[in-house]
Amino acid sequence: MEKQEKIVSMFNNIAPTYDTANRVLSMGIDKSWRDKACKKAFELYGKNSIDKIVDVACGTGDMILFWKEVAKKKNIDLKNIVGVDPSVGMMEVGKKKLPEVDFIEAFATSMPIDIQSADIISISYGIRNVVQRQEAFIEFARVLKKDGLVVISEFTKNKKENLLDHITAFYMDKVLPTVGGIISKNKEAYRYLPDSIDEFLTTENLCKELKNAGLEPVYVKAFSMNISTLIIAKKV
């Protein structure tokens, strides 16, 4: 748990500047990744009324905003959405943006949410920060209704096979920590991002872990030169 606590502390530290840094570092592209994740999940789920979405590692509530906006555009009746995160600092920022949303302080591995109560669980750019990942997937399966969806957006590990791959790697390894460090005044936190991707799983292995928890991947797609990958899995 010591590693997990250190990660939480780091996010508490960068919370005030996190949204600004995200927009600058992704050049706004992360908005399209989140939008596509919501649209595809709603399409696959195929229901006009949804009881509950749980956004895990919700941070400052970015993904919650997209769930609400896309549901509204698609005339989907979204009855309840909650954010779960162990970082109080990040959620304090989220509460100011979304005062109507319930934010719950909890780890992904142990959520105070009823069994089989959620239609969709999302985790955006947060699963690599979960140290006990397999336990988290088992917890997701517990909370999800049958045929419910897990929606994961993440920076996954990819082979460097061409020039674009090497340019992307240079940006992530050199540019991102420097710019993120200037904005947040915490270069170590933004050094953590490329390091955590390097230490992270491939898409294939992540899909295996989901299957081990009874979550069957039904949609896998990489975006923007394979920087971000969307994986949607169904509880079977």
Each domain of the chain, given as residue ranges in start order, spans 2-11+27-159+202-235
60 is in an annotated binding site: yes
List, in order, residues 6 or more apart from 190 with CB less than 8 Å away. 21, 25, 176, 177, 178, 179, 180, 181, 184
Q: Regarding beta strands 102-105 and 49-50, do their DSSP bridges make them parallel or antiparallel, or are they unpaired?
A: unpaired
Tell me: the pLDDT tens digits for 182-203?
666 666 666 666 666 666 678 8
CA distances from 112 to 53, 54, 103, 143 (A): 14, 11, 11, 9
As a 3-state breakdown, the chain gives helix, strand, coil percent values, each rounded to 5, of 50, 25, 25
CA distances from 72 to 34, 66, 77, 103, 221 (A): 15, 10, 8, 21, 24
Tell me: the pLDDT tens digits for 88-125?
888 998 999 999 999 999 999 999 999 999 999 999 98
- Asked whether the predicted pLDDT for residue 148 surpasses 70, the reply is yes
When comparing pLDDT for 216 and 192, which is higher? 216
Q: Please list the residues that pair with 49 across neighbouring strands.
A: 77
Query: SS3 for 150?
Result: strand
- Asked whether the predicted pLDDT for residue 130 surpasses 70, the reply is yes
153 is in an annotated binding site: no
Task: Record the tokens describing residue 221, joined without a space.
Answer: 């797609």
Looking at the domain 2-11+27-159+202-235, which fold is it? Answer: Rossmann fold (3.40.50)
The predicted pLDDT at position 38 comes to: 98
The predicted pLDDT at position 166 comes to: 60
- Asked whether the predicted pLDDT for residue 64 surpasses 90, the reply is yes
Quote the distance between the C-alpha of residue 154 and its chain's center.
6
Q: Please list the residues that pair with 53 across neighbouring strands.
A: 81, 120
Tell me: the pLDDT tens digits for 7-23?
777 666 666 666 666 65
Model pTM score:
0.81
Q: How far apart are CA 135 and CA 165, in angstroms?
A: 32
Tell me: the pLDDT tens digits for 74-85?
999 999 999 999
Query: SS3 for 53?
Result: strand
List, in order, residues 6 or more apart from 90 with CB less than 8 Å away. 11, 12, 15, 18, 58, 59, 60
124 is in an annotated binding site: yes
The predicted pLDDT at position 98 comes to: 95
